[in-house]
Amino acid sequence: MNNNFLVRAGKIVTVSSLGTIYEGAMIIKDGRIAEVGNWNTLQSQFHSLPVIDYSDYVITPSLVDCHTHLLEFAPSSLYPVTPATHLLTGKSILLHALRSGITALGEQICGHPNSDFSITDYRHAVKDIPLDISFATTSISIGFKEMVHYTGVTKSKRVRHADLSDPSLVKEIARQSDYPGENLFLNATPANFTADEVPRAGEIIYTLEELKCIVKIYHQYEKQVGVHVAGEEAIELALEAGVDVLHHAHGITNDQIKKANLQGTKIVTTPMGGTHLEPNSPENILKLIQNKIDVSIATDAYLPPYPSVSWLPFKDQSLLGPDVYMKIAHPGMKLLQENGFDENKILALLTANPSAVLGKGDKFGKLQQGMDANFVVTAGIPGLEITDVEDVKAVYFRGDRVVDRLK
Ligand SMILES: [Zn+2]
């Protein structure tokens, strides 16, 4: 099928140096963006191409959720799966992300007590899905009364605390990791458990020396390293050891924000929860941006929302997934707008910035010449003007329309 066409929009928020274009259009050729500009100009230049008319809608880059657990943990948390149906269920959850306007994911493979799949199994399972998926292999420490540790390269087999810093194991995790996700848990995680089940959540797992050795191994492989981290003491260790990406960074202090800026440390905020501490508030996200930190917002899904925080609209503790991405981003995005930030810069928190964390900043996350034609057709700017997935009217992945709510 000929996949070349001209797409017209009432407004295009490019998240590139082109900014916002009213009465805009894009030329899509072979799954990529060939041109972005004004409808009148492009129409006269390319009048032979078929036109898809979205002049009543907004077009923006599709969303990039760079911190998720959809394939490994979500299937058995949500459904009564067996090994025979686990991966199939995982794939249906990925399609749910696609219907939510997300075309790229950063998936964590941590090791799981009840599922014995390898990262190769996961990579193989997603091959035919119209989503760009990067995997981070990680180790994980869960804060039960008796602490347990797993790794993404040892499947369902438990490892000892000491193994977490064993250079040969760390090398294998680093080798198999595509991007700086939460490659290790600097604090023990509460995961999806209730507070009474995980009394040791938050406990610091690594010494500064251990952490420095691990960072060095990743850098020797010419890879960046990311960590799950929360609380002043643990964040200090991460900054001191030269970690590249902080995931969560709940409880980061003003001095630490300044230090992160000086070091060029990226921060993936998770306003829904994910650690033992209160998650990133809208004010925290604003402060990070004002201090010129490269900030992404991610869901960390599936996750129960952190109880009783004022900026989350959820009533109970049921697990939430990719369909709430815009909802959890909205309060922070709104506050940025009130503080005078441009809509392109604000939308970058869900598009260009997470795409850079995935190492794919030159491939997608912005609408400009040469990028993959990954975009959404919406009733407003995702997360800023709309938060309901029903307002994502169409999703395009590499030039193919993969979701269509306008039919
Ligand atoms: Zn996570």
Q: How far is the CA of 90 from the centre of ligand 1 (A)?
A: 16
Q: How far is the CA of 181 from the centre of ligand 1 (A)?
A: 8
Q: How far is the CA of 376 from the centre of ligand 1 (A)?
A: 26
Predicted pLDDT at 193: 82
Residue 350: which of 129, 97, 61, 19 has the closest Cα? 61
Predicted pLDDT at 267: 98
**Burial of 29 per CB tally in 10 Å (0-12, 13-18, 19+):** middle
Q: How far is the CA of 369 from the centre of ligand 1 (A)?
A: 33
The CATH class of 63-356 is alpha beta
3 state SS of 120: helix
Q: How far is the CA of 5 from the centre of ligand 1 (A)?
A: 39
Q: How far is the CA of 237 from the centre of ligand 1 (A)?
A: 19
Residues listed for the chain: 407
DSSP for residue 138: -
Q: What is the pTM of this model?
A: 0.97
Q: How far is the CA of 275 from the centre of ligand 1 (A)?
A: 9
Predicted pLDDT at 217: 98
DSSP sequence for 271-326: TT--SSS----HHHHHHHHHTT--EEE---SSBPPPTT-TT----S---B-GGGHH
Whether domain 5-62+364-404 has CATH 3.40.50.1100: the reply is: no
Six-digit token string for 117:
């799949």
**Burial of 325 per CB tally in 10 Å (0-12, 13-18, 19+):** buried
Q: How far is the CA of 301 from the centre of ligand 1 (A)?
A: 7
Q: How far is the CA of 346 from the centre of ligand 1 (A)?
A: 23
Which residues of the chain are modeled with pLDDT < 50? 1
Q: How far is the CA of 137 from the centre of ligand 1 (A)?
A: 11
CB 136 within 8 A of CB 109: yes
Predicted pLDDT at 64: 99
**Taking each helix axis from N to C terminus, what angle separates 254-263 and 232-241, rounded to the nearest 10 degrees?**
20
Predicted pLDDT at 2: 59
Predicted pLDDT at 407: 87
CB 97 within 8 A of CB 405: no
Range(s) for CATH 3.20.20.140 in the chain?
63-356
Predicted pLDDT at 144: 95
Range(s) for CATH 2.30.40.10 in the chain?
5-62+364-404
